[in-house]
Amino acid sequence: MSRRSLLISSAAIVAVTATAPKGAAAQPAGSAMSPSSKVSFTVNGESRSLDVDNRTSLLDALREHLHLAGTKKGCDHGQCGACTVMVDGRRINSCLTLAVMHEGDQITTIEGLGEPGDLHPMQAAFVKHDGFQCGYCTPGQICSSIAVLEEIRANIPSHVTSDLTTEVQITPAEIRERMSGNICRCGAYSNILDAIVEVAGIKV
Ligand code: FES
Ligand code: FES
C-alpha cells in the first residue's frame, strides 16, 4: 500500500469513528424507555402514591414530585447531609436511596416537624442559638439532630463504636461525632452544637 492510500484509508476510519454516536454499539434496542413503578409511602403523616422512574432518588421524589423543597440537595452523592430525612425514625441521606425502595415507609421531612408558631423543640433551639447562617444545611442538620438524640437514647453505636454493649454517653463530643456527616459551609458548628446540647438537656 502506498503512503498516500494509507493516509486516505486512515482518514476515512477516523471520520467514521468521530461521527458514530458515543456508546451506540452498547445501546440495546428500546433502552430509551426507562421502567417506572408505583410506590406508596407516608410523608409527614400523609399517605402519598407516586409513579416514578425507578431511578428516582427519594430526595428527588420529595422535592420534584411532592414539592417538599425543605429537604435540600447539596452534593447529591452522600457527602454533605443536606438531604437528611427520617425514615421509620432513622436518619438517612435521601439522595442515596431510591424512592421505590420505600414502599410502606414512614418518612419525616423538615416540613413535618413543626411550623411557625409551633416549632419542634430542636427547631426552636436552632433559632435561639443562631444555629444557621445561610440556612441551606439547616433542614438536614435539624432532622439529623433529632435522630441523633434518639440514637443515643436507644444506645445505637455510631459508626466508630464497634462494641454493641458499650454504654453511649450523651456528651458534646459524642454529638459532634454523630453529626459529622452534616456539613455546614457557613461553619455554624458551635451554635448547632449548643442547640442540640440544650435539647439533650446536657449540662456543660
Ligand atoms: Fe445527599 Fe449531600 S445531597 S448527602
Ligand atoms: Fe449555611 Fe450551614 S448555615 S451551610
Helix pair 138-153, 121-128: axis angle to 10 deg: 120
Return the best residue to mutate from 71, 83, 97, 180 for the ligand 1 pocket (most ligand atoms within 8 A of CB).
83
Tens of pLDDT, residues 106-150? 999 999 999 999 999 999 999 999 999 999 999 999 999 999 999
Which residues have any ligand 2 atom within 6 Å of their CB? 132-138, 184-186, 188
**Among the atoms of ligand 2, which is closest to the Cα of residue 184?**
2
* Closest by Cα among 131, 109, 110 to 195: 131
Q: What is the Cα gyration radius of the chain?
A: 24
Residue 84 has φ and ψ, to the nearest 5°, of: -60, 130
Query: Is the CB of 57 within 6 Å of ligand 1?
Result: no
**Ligand positioned closest to the Cα atom of 139:** 2
Half-sphere exposure of 32 (CA within 13 A, CB side): 3
Tens of pLDDT, residues 164-184? 445 557 899 999 999 999 999
- How far apart are the CA of 82 and the centre of ligand 1, in A? 5
Is residue 26 classed as helix, strand or coil in its secondary structure? helix
Query: Is the CB of 76 within 6 Å of ligand 1?
Result: yes
Take residue 119 and report the three cell numbers written for it: 416549632
- The one-letter amino acid code at 193 reads L
The single residue listed with the C-alpha cell 414512614 is 106
**Among the atoms of ligand 2, which is closest to the Cα of residue 187?**
2
**Ligand positioned closest to the Cα atom of 83:** 1
**Ligand positioned closest to the Cα atom of 95:** 1
Take residue 103 and report the three cell numbers written for it: 414502599
pTM score of the predicted model: 0.80
**DSSP label at 65?**
I
In the predicted structure, residue 15 carries a pLDDT above the cut 60: no
Handedness of CA 35, 40, 41, 43 (dihedral sign): positive
Residues in CB range of 32: below 8 A, 6 or more apart: none
Euclidean distance between the first and the last CA atom of the chain, given in angstroms as a whole number:
86
In the predicted structure, residue 66 carries a pLDDT above the cut 90: yes
Take residue 23 and report the three cell numbers written for it: 456508546
Handedness of CA 65, 86, 160, 164 (dihedral sign): negative
Task: Specify the pLDDT at position 160.
Answer: 46
- How far apart are the CA of 184 and the centre of ligand 2, in A? 5
Helix and strand numbers, DSSP H then E, in the chain:
6, 5
- The one-letter amino acid code at 32 reads A
